[in-house]
């Protein structure tokens, strides 16, 4: 049974099995939730957390304070949610669901169904509006945000190709629009949208798309 669901694609959120959003106010505690979410399935050490959050691998006291704050935020859930052995700390993958992990699992399975599910999970860039104010941590997140964006662009591109081949014009048009939201500079996708709009008998929309694309490319 999933006791805690963590969303990192788009806005950060943590919701318990009752549907209640957890209050995690401290920036270091939020950063720890993000880090453990991205590292689910691994066993991050106190030392590496100290290095990332405090710039000091020996900052065990500060890290223990942050872990204690996280325990408090999870106080109404089973102790099994957060596994803390004093040397490492991690979320228990058996009872904690993290959207980035499901996304990674789905993109590893090359089927139309899995690609569609992965696209549904990709609600936005990794932590699109999140900033911890911790320089090293935010730089670490920025690198991973770019990695996930590239994966998202690839998934939407593959889905778009499959939908066009199947003749599902409306869903293909929606997918192309979402793809352009991630990377508006893809001229080939703009052209694809125009063709789809013409297939749907919408020449005015295709002309507007052409003008928008021309304006974008001119600015770029």
- pLDDT per position as a tens digit, 130-141: 999 999 999 999
- pLDDT per position as a tens digit, 48-88: 999 999 999 889 999 999 999 999 999 999 999 999 999 99
E-only strand ranges, the chain: 4-7, 13-16, 82-84, 89-91, 96-98
- pLDDT per position as a tens digit, 155-181: 999 999 999 888 888 888 889 888 988
> Model pTM?
0.87
What number of other Cβ atoms are within 10 A of residue 144's Cβ? 15
CB crowding 168-203: b at 16 or more within 10 Å, else e: ebebbbebbebbbebeeebeebbebbbbbbeeeeee
- pLDDT per position as a tens digit, 206-218: 898 888 888 888 8
Task: Tell whether the model's pLDDT for residue 110 goes beyond 80.
Answer: no
Task: Tell whether the model's pLDDT for residue 111 goes beyond 90.
Answer: no
DSSP type of residue 107: H
**Angstrom distance (rounded) from CA 49 to CA 46:** 5
């Amino acid at each position: 049974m999933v006791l805690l669901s963590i969303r990192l694609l788009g806005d950060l959120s943590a919701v318990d099995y009752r549907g209640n959003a957890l209050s995690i106010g401290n920036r270091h505690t939020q950063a720890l939730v993000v880090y453990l979410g991205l590292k689910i399935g691994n066993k991050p050490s106190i030392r590496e957390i100290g290095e990332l959050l405090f710039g000091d691998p020996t900052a065990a006291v500060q890290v223990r304070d942050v872990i204690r704050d996280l325990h408090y935020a999870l106080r109404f859930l089973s102790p099994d949610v957060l596994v803390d052995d004093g040397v490492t700390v991690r979320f228990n993958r058996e009872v904690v669901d993290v959207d980035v992990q499901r996304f990674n699992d789905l993109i590893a399975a090359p089927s139309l169904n899995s690609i569609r599910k992965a696209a549904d999970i990709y609600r936005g860039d990794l932590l699109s509006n999140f900033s911890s104010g911790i320089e090293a941590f935010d730089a670490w997140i920025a690198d991973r945000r770019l990695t996930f964006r590239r994966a998202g662009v690839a998934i939407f591109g593959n889905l778009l190709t499959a939908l066009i081949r199947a003749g599902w014009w409306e869903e293909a048009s929606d997918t192309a629009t979402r793809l352009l939201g991630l990377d508006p500079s893809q001229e080939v996708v703009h052209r694809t949208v125009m063709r789809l709009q013409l297939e749907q008998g919408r020449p005015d929309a295709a002309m507007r798309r052409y003008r928008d694309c021309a304006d974008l490319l001119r600015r770029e």
